[in-house]
Structures are given as C-alpha cells and as structure tokens.
Structure 1
Amino acid sequence: MKALIRNILGEEFINDIFQKYFRWKEKVQYGIIYPILLKIPFAPNFYFLFSKSFGSEMKMFVGARMDYIKKQHHKTENLFLLRRNIHRLEKGLIMKNRRKIFALDYIEETVTLLKSLIASKNDNDQINWACDILNQYFEVTDAHPKRDNALKIFSTISANRNSDRSFGPFIVPENNKEDQYSFAVLAKKRKSVRFFEPNNIPERSLMDKAVELAALAPSSCNRQPFSFRIVDNPELVKKMAVLPGGTKGFSDEIVAMVAVVGQMNVSPSISDRHLMYIDGSLASMNFMLALESLGIASCPLNWPEDKNKDNKVRALLSLGDFERPILMIAYGYAAKDGKLAYSVRKPLDQLRRYN
C-alpha cells in the first residue's frame, strides 16, 4: 500500500510534505508545548510518560535493577558487585592517611561473593586480583567483629592462583616523552574510514589485542558494563550494516563490524543508569585507537534511540535481557582509493575554559 501511494504521488512530493510537517511540528514544540512544560512542575514527567524511546529504556532499567538487587540479596554470583567492592577496597588501601579499619559495611559481602565465584570455577586474573587486595586489606586493618568474621570466611577460600603477578596497588610510573609523541601521532592519524578493502578482514587475533587495550579505559568502580560483539560473517555484516544511522551511502562497503554492547544490570542505583553509555564510550575510543595502532581502519556509526533497531540487533546477536547496543563500529583495511573527510575541529578557544 505504501509503495502504491509513493508511485502515485511521487517520492519527491511525499518527502516535501513530510519535511513541511516535521518543521511545523518543531515550531509547535518550541513555540508552545515546551515553554508550557518548563513552567509547570512535573509536567515533563507526564509528557514523556508514554514515550517509546524513554519507555523502553526505563523498562530495561527496572528489570536490570530488579535482577541486580535480587542477586545481591540472595548472595548469588555477581561479578560486577565483586569488582566494584574490590575496587573500593583498593581505593581505601592507597589513601595517604588510611584509616585503621574501613569497609565494614561491605567486607563480609565481598568475601562471600568471592567464595561463590571461586566455587563456580571462575578462576582467572579477576579472582587473583580480588585475593591479593583482600590479603592486603586483612594485613593492614585492625580487629573488628565484622572484619574478623569476614577474615574467617576468607581463610576458608582456596583459589588456584594461575599468575605470578602481584595485583596490589603500585607507584605511578614515570612519564615518558616518547609516549606523548607517539600518542599525538596516533590521535592525529586516526580518521573515520568508510571504504574498506573487500574480502580482506583483519585476523581475529588482532581484534582480540584491540579489545584487551580497550579494556584499559577508565570504568566506574572498574565494573566495565560493556562487551565487544565482533561481526565478521559476511551475511551477518550485510544485515547489520544497514541498521546504523548515516550508512545509506556506504553500507555495501562495510566488510566487518563491532557492536559495542552495554549491560545495565551492574548497579542498584538509579544515578548509575547511564553508566554503560559512559564507560562503553570510553572503551570504544581506546578500541579505535588500538585498531589504528595495528594498521586497522575504523569508523564509529551513529546508533540512534530506536526500539525497533535495538530489537533487530538483539535478535541478530542473541543479546541478553539487560543488554543493548551503545554504538556500532565499522572496521577493516582502508581501501587505497577511498577518500577521507577533512572534518575541521573546533579551535582551542572554543573547546577550553579555565575555572
């Protein structure tokens, strides 16, 4: 039916009508609706109550928060909570005027979590790190009933250490001028590439290196609520490439993609609801710079708030209930004849203000 109407009226006529309607709608919003909403307390809450965009995110957050709190109360496996608590202990240990006793409100929870994770054979550097930090904590803190009870639980834990490295706090390394120069060169060299060599997909071992470097990006309480879903299957790439915004003119040129996926059930706090977007974006920039250092070109792709597109990606990549795409990244080896946008950046005086 839509195709028939387009054939009768013409594509150009329909687009013109749509643009006029869109501009009229915006005038009504900024001229009438939004000024009223700003003057009436709580009015925006009701106005956006049934919004599809906000609604889907809020529904996911409610489910994610329920999942997190349920795990916390039932003392079941929760690696995100363990990572957060161990990081909090780390921060306590590095304080210059360290208190003789701290973390009493979560130390028992932490050792109980560690015990349950070791029991499920999640034995890796995360476990080694947790054990090293807890060892130091119990060595430097004074006696207290909660602390002593946690120590009893910790003493029953037997982890098979699989690393000779120490995972405790360390002194800041000296700054290297060569590193400054290398980063400046790398940052200036990286550009968004939209045209790639066909049938030449980077090896997975290189992608793994880039992901490991991406994981070094800052993350709130070291929770890292994101993952990199690498798509190098040609048929799947073809289905994925048309979904992000702005790929209409070059989707056929994309040979491989990465979906940066956020995970929402990592905190019980409403104020942390944007955590996966912030941390995922920080890691994504690390990832693209890492790709550049390995000779692999990349291009971040716009991922708008669109429930239908979210659902398509969820089905294609079998995402979990509390996962959603943050952004997409096209990658590959840059085509020799492909051009780059110059993209002049803002000057310093528009980017920076002191105090």
Structure 2
Amino acid sequence: MKLQTNLLAPEEASRVYGRRGGRRVLHAMLPTGAYDWLRGYRLRFNASEVGRGWHGLVARLLGLTARSGVLSGLHYTLFSREFDREHRAVLAARARHVEDVYAGRGNLYMLRRNIHRIEKGLIMKPARPIFALAMIEETVRAFGDCLLRAPAGQAQDIVSLQWADQILQAYFERVDSHPIVARARAAYDAIIARDAATVADTRARVPFKRGSPDGLPSIEAMEAMALHRRSVRWYLDRPVPRDVIDRAVDVAGYSPTACNRQPFRFEIFDTPEAVSRVGAIPKGTPGWLHQIPCFLVIIGKFEAFRFERDRHIPYIDGCLAAMSLIYALEAQGVSSCCVNFPDYADTERRMAETLGLPPWERAVMCLAIGYPDPDEPVPFSQKLPLESLRRYNHFGTPG
C-alpha cells in the first residue's frame, strides 16, 4: 500500500484508497498506530478458530436467508444498502424509457429491438402469413417519433432509421391482409410521405445470404492471437492514433447484442490530463496510471430497457463488445488491460460526476490502452484448463 501511494500525489492516493463506512470514521478519528492495530487484530481474529467459527455461522445465516425472496429483500433493506445504486439506476432508466415511448420523443432502443424481432420473423421457416400483430403499430409509431427528432441533432440515428424503413417495407410486402396491418401500413405510408428524404438509402439493409467469404482467420490464427494477448500494464511513450482506436471500435460494434440494441457507449480519453483524471477513479490503477497513453470507459445505457429483467444486459453486451475491441486493438499492435470497476458508492459517484452521466447510465468497466513496452514483463496468468471450462449434455439438481 505505502509503496503504491508513494507513486501518487497525496490527494490522488486519498481518492483511490478512500475508505468506506465505519472504517472511514475510525481512520479519521484514531491515530495511525491505533487504526493499524485494530486492522491487525481483525485479521488475526479472522484467522483464529473463533473467527472461523463466527464466519461459518454468518455463512449459514446468509444461506438460510437466501432461500426466501422475502428474507433476502429484508436483508438488503435492513442490513445492506449495496443494491441501492442499481435500484435507482434501473428505476430512472424505466422512467426515461416509458417517457420516451409515450411522450412521443421516440426511444431508438425500443425501435431497434422491435425491428430486429420483425427481421427475425422475416427469416423464420416456415414463413408465417401474418406475424408481429402485437407490436407492429407500436413499432411504426416509434419509427415516426424517432424520425421527427432525427433532423434536430440526432443524425447518428439515421442509419438505424434507414434499416427500420427497409425492414418495415419488407414486412408490409410479405404479410397477408389484416385490420391491424392495414392501420399500421396507413400510418407508415403517412410517415414516409412526410420524411421519405430522411431515410432515402441506396444500401440494402434487409436479411441476406451470408455466404463464405475468403480471408477469414484460421482457428490457429485465433489461438495465436488469444495466447499472445495479455493484460499489459507498461506502455511506450507513444500516443495511439485515433484512427487505430476508431477502427477497433468499429469492429467492436459488430459484436452480438440482445435484440440489436447495443446499450453501451465507449468514452475515450487520450490526453495526459484526461487520462490522469479519469484513470484515477477506478481502484486498480495506482502505480502505473502515470504512463497510460489512453483510457477507455464502457458506459452501460439502461434506458434501452423497460423492465427489470433486462438489467444485466448493458453489462453483458458492453463486455461482449469489449472483447472484440481488445482483439481488434491487438491485431493493430496495440495492447490493453481491463480495469475492473466494482460497485463502490464513491467511485460510482465520482465517475458519474466526472463524465456527466445521467442516473440511467453506469460505468461497466474500463480499459487501459497503449503500445506495449517490449522490455517489460507481463503476468503469466494461468488460465483454467479445458476440462474446467466446459461440460457436454450435463443435467443435475441445483446444489
């Protein structure tokens, strides 16, 4: 701890190693020697027979509480507030999503989800003569609402709207007649009569036969890439060009994502001042932050979802994209290191304040990026063997 804080300014060390709750109070009130003695006593107690027995009792009580949804809820109401930030983010996101949809502002994520569902219906076998009746009118309304806001500074939405337009055209050409389809088609025709120029496009954005392109990497090349990639913490004093990063981000954008919503954003910082400011917020960068050329924060966008059941998707989709980003950087000779972003109240607050995040957006993880210093070692980081990572056709009862 002292060795690492020596590499930081006192105020930076205080932020990085900020204590929480009772430990913060004790550290502020007690002399350093007394605080260190209490900390040592706690560690000795945990290692003692009495301490192990106490923690065994706690584990049994937690196990009993976990068997009941009511008791689990009471536990996190009375004894722990660790889920409060997620609760607030999910509720704020739900409010934002519903307001977008029903106040006529349009929610692009809902539109992208519905269009993707219709697109899947277009490729199903056997083809159904009528489908999507429960959502086609909602989808057309969302299409119109999003089109209305597109000219007002939302030009990045245009490709999504062009895709939506072509899928809706394909849908109306495919399905049989039905009163709901007729109403939706009339609404769609009125929208196109008003905004045809906005979604005019020469590129086909409808389902297609993929084929087998030449030039794809072999499994041997993929294995070599995976084995070569390591969490690199020491970099050359050389900036990473933005076109290199943008090309990797473009590759990451093709990662799989739930219903094609892509509920994430990459915030990238590539000046020494910005890297120092943002990179000091996670607790995993002391000792090597000073020489990171570029720092990236993945932001999860929870307003893409209306229901609590989807609350994990921004984390999942953001990390799926992160892995593609990492490999795309590595393919260009640029290395990286994932920086964990645990759910601490102080780091969450500081990240939100620093980046100006609304309550429905949260940091998912961070990434240090730079050209690797070939003279510095990297951790070996033994990975689990194949037998520990997979099972085929296994069934059993929950343990």
When the two structures are superposed, what TM-score results if normalisation uses the length of structure 1? 0.92
Give the direction of change, closer, same or farther, for the CA distance of 1:130–1:298 in structure 2 (3 Å limit): same
Aligned position for 1:150: 184
Alignment pair present for 1:330 and 2:361: no
Q: Residues 100-179 of structure 1 correspond to what in structure 2 (within 5 A)? A: 100-120=129-149, 121=151, 122-123=154-155, 124-156=158-190, 157=192, 158-161=196-199, 163-174=201-212, 178-179=216-217
Q: SS at the partner of 2:378?
A: coil
- Structure 1 residue 285 corresponds to structure 2 residue 323: yes
What is the aligned partner in structure 2 of residue 186 from structure 1? 225
**Map of 1:269 onto structure 2:** 307
Q: Contact 1:80–1:223 (CA<8 Å) still a contact in 2?
A: yes
The alignment status of 1:244 with 2:273, answered yes or no, reads no
Q: Check conservation: 1:297, 1:332, Cα contact below 8 A.
A: yes
- The residue that corresponds to 2:73 in the other structure is 45
How far has the Cα of 1:206 moved from its partner?
Answer: 1.6
Cα distance in 2 for partners of 1:89, 1:176 equals: 30
Look up the match of 1:96.
Answer: 125
1:52, 1:307 within 8 Å by CA — same for their partners in 2? no
Measure how far apart 1:184 and its partner are. 2.8
**Cα–Cα, structure 1 residues 42 and 202, in superposed 2: closer, same or farther, change >3 Å?**
same
Which residues in structure 2 correspond to 1:190-201 (within 5 Å)?
190-198=229-237, 200-201=238-239
Per mean C-alpha deviation after superposition, the further-off stretch among 24-33 and 120-129 is 24-33
3-state SS of 2:304 partner? coil
Secondary structure of the 1:192 match is coil
Gaps of 5+ in 2: 1-25, 394-399
Give the whole-Å Cα distance in 2 for the aligned partners of 1:2 and 1:31. 28
Report the CA distance shift for 1:299/1:177 in structure 2 as closer, same or farther (over 3 A): same
Report the equivalent of 1:65.
94
Deviations 1:30-79 (A, max 9, x none): 44531441455621110012533201111111121122122222332210
The CA deviation at 1:86 is 0.5
Task: Give, in whole Å, the separation in 2 of the partners of 1:88 and 1:148.
Answer: 19
Q: How many residues align?
A: 353
Matched, 1:83 2:112: yes
Return the alpha-carbon distance in structure 1 between the equivalents of residues 294 and 235 of structure 2. 9
How far apart are the structure 2 equivalents of 1:111 and 1:127? 11
Supply the distance in 1 between the matched residues of 2:269 and 2:214 (Cα, whole angstroms): 36
Question: What letter corresponds to residue 375 of structure 2 in structure 1?
Answer: D
The equivalences for 1:286-325 within 5 A come to 286-325=324-363
Give, in angstroms, the shift of residue 245 of structure 1.
3.5
Q: Is the 8 A contact 1:226 1:261 kept in 2?
A: yes
**Cα distance in structure 2, aligned partners of 1:88 and 1:178:** 29
CA-CA distance at 1:2 after TM superposition:
3.8
Deviations 1:73-116 (A, max 9, x none): 23322100110010011000010212111111111111121122
SS in structure 2 at match of 1:339 = coil
Against the structure 1 CA distance between its residues 39 and 349, is the aligned structure 2 distance closer, same or farther, given a 3 Å change threshold? closer
**Aligned-pair CA distance for 1:172:** 3.0
| Corresponding residue SS for 1:103 | coil
SS at match of 2:97: helix
Q: Is the 8 A contact 1:244 1:301 kept in 2?
A: yes
1:131: Cα distance to partner?
0.9
Q: Which residue pairs with 1:208 in the alignment?
A: 246
Structure 2 Cα separation of the partners of residues 41 and 82 of structure 1: 34
Q: Identical aligned pairs, as a percentage?
A: 31
Distance 1:255 1:140, change over 3 A: same
Q: How many Å separate the matches in 2 of 1:214 and 1:27?
A: 43
What is the distance in 1 between the residues matched to 2:201 and 2:121? 24
The answer to whether the 8 A contact 2:27-2:35 is kept is no
- In 2, Cα distance between the equivalents of 1:22 and 1:235? 42
Q: What whole-Å deviation, never above 9, does each CA across 1:213-249 have from its counterpart, x for those lacking one?
A: 1111111111111000001121221122233233233
* Aligned 8 A contact 2:294 2:370 in 1: yes
Change over 3 Å in CA distance of 1:301–1:21 after alignment to 2: farther
Are the counterparts in 2 of residues 246 and 301 from structure 1 also a CA contact under 8 Å?
Answer: yes
Q: Is the 8 A contact 1:226 1:279 kept in 2?
A: yes
Distance 2:240 2:38 in 1: 43
- Give the superposition deviation at 1:6: 4.5
Give the aligned residue type for 2:55.
K
Contact 2:114 2:139 in 1 (8 A): yes
Q: Which residue of 1 aligns with 2:55?
A: 27
Distance in 2, matches of 1:251 and 1:155, equals 55
Give unpaired runs (5+ residues) of structure 1.
none
Q: Distance in 2 between matches of 1:40 and 1:133?
A: 45
Moved more, 21-30 or 129-138: 21-30
